Amino acid sequence: MTEKNTIKAVVLDDYTKMILETITPIKEEDIVDGTVVAITPTAVYVDLGPIGTGIIYGSEYINTRDLIKKINIGDAITSKIILRENKDGYVDLSLREAKHALIWSEAEALLKEKKIISIVVKEANKGGLIMEWNGINGFLPSSQLKGDNYPKVTDGSKDQILSELKKLIGKRIPVSIIAAIPKEGKLIFSESTENTGSEESKRTKKDDDKKDAKAITKIVSKYNIGDQLEGVVTGVVDFGIFVKIDNEIEGLIHKSEIDWGLVENTKDYAKVGDTIKVEVIEIKDDKISLSMKKLKDNPWMAAAKKYKKGDSVDGVIIRFNKHGALVSIEEGVAGLLHISDFESEEKMKQELSLGKIYKFEISLFDGGEEKMTLKLMK
């Protein structure tokens, strides 16, 4: 008997599940509170009340061992649901992701309250500055720099701009958060002037900010979802590509919107100064989200006509992550082989190799949602 089976999971029949979910619906990514009921050398078991029994194990256990050492049976803990029910009937939980989610909640609060925070510049590229806040890397586009910090280069040389930006590395700059999207890992800053000076100067700044906001709203109102446009790349960062449209407003192509296939390095797809075609996919809070892949045929639409649940397919392992292994069955169509199918992350990596082809069974296929899960056929 494996160690995971030493604690009995609360396995509910379908009818009971339906009733409970009507009262207290839960979903993956939810933050939940529970009580620790058992701790073993490889797992932590958590009583989640009517939801069932939660478990922290595998890579989630290994990556939070220092935190788990401080936990005792009976302690109340906050965790994040990463799988509603694994093969043993447990709710897979993450302490690390719960902490991450709370940090993002704080970022969203700072955005809403327009609070100024002071952060040290970590790195610089031709598009702007990389700054770390509470363990999260954020981006400050050069277009959002103010006063002496703005790179004043007469001939527009990208190398000279980078040279000027590098002078800011190590400097502490007051900033405000202008975009915080946890699912996309997107944290964008704008340099702010400290709230000091006379009451008259504060009022003047407030009036200027209102005028700027109205001007941006007017510009954004010109665009609609589905518009296909050309723009100039102003920055390339780990999480996406910044593009200036009509030389008046900047939008972001998130990494997930660059290509239908796996995007390992955003710098392989564009560089600062490139003119590229994009499609507007979202307009929210005076910010524009763009896509490159929407201008290409969606491989999931064709795949939906070929594959269904229960099909046996060949797939290649293209990436390991905290949830398991990402498996590609054809260009642009990839799904998850969940880590719960293995005893641990170490066992998974012992059994599977990156770039190798294996036989899988499709356990879920939804072309419309671009979602697929698989089981390894042994």
Domains, the chain: 3-100 (2.40.50.140), 114-196 (2.40.50.140), 228-295 (2.40.50.140), 299-376 (2.40.50.140)
- For position 334, what pLDDT does the model report? 93
- For position 105, what pLDDT does the model report? 81
The two structure tokens encoding residue 291? 């896509």
- DSSP letter at 29 equals T
- For position 211, what pLDDT does the model report? 53
- For position 88, what pLDDT does the model report? 83
Let me know: does 125 contact 163? Beta carbons within 8 Å: no
List, in order, residues 6 or more apart from 346 with CB less than 8 Å away.
none
Q: How far apart are CA 103 and CA 105, in angstroms?
A: 5
List, in order, residues 6 or more apart from 24 with CB less than 8 Å away.
50, 51
- For position 150, what pLDDT does the model report? 81
Q: How far is CA 378 from the centre of its chain?
A: 33
Q: Give me the DSSP letters along 278-325.
A: EEEEEEETTEEEEESGGGS--HHHHHHTT--TT-EEEEEEEEEETTEE
List, in order, residues 6 or more apart from 296 with CB less than 8 Å away.
259, 260
Nearest to 119 by CA among 102, 138, 106: 138
Q: How far apart are CA 291 and CA 330, in angstroms?
A: 21
Instruction: Using DSSP bridges, classify how beta strands 172-181 and 136-141 pair: parallel, antiparallel or unpaired.
Output: unpaired
pTM > 0.85? no
- For position 134, what pLDDT does the model report? 86
- For position 63, what pLDDT does the model report? 81
Q: 295 φ, ψ to 5°?
A: -85, 0
Identify the helix (H) or strand (E) that includes residue 56. Answer: strand 53-57
List, in order, residues 6 or more apart from 64 with CB less than 8 Å away.
56, 95, 96
Per-residue pLDDT of the chain (378 residues; tens, 9 = 90+): 444 444 545 455 554 455 445 445 678 878 888 899 988 988 999 998 888 899 998 888 888 888 888 888 888 888 889 888 888 889 999 887 777 777 888 888 898 888 899 999 999 988 889 999 988 899 998 888 887 788 776 565 778 888 889 999 999 999 999 888 877 788 999 987 654 444 554 455 455 555 556 666 777 788 899 999 999 988 887 788 889 888 778 888 988 899 998 888 888 999 888 999 999 999 887 788 899 999 999 999 999 999 999 999 999 999 888 788 999 999 899 999 998 888 788 889 999 999 999 999 999 999 988 899 999 998
Let me know: does 301 contact 367? Beta carbons within 8 Å: yes
Q: Could you identify the residue written with the tokens 């890579």?
A: 59
- DSSP letter at 181 equals E
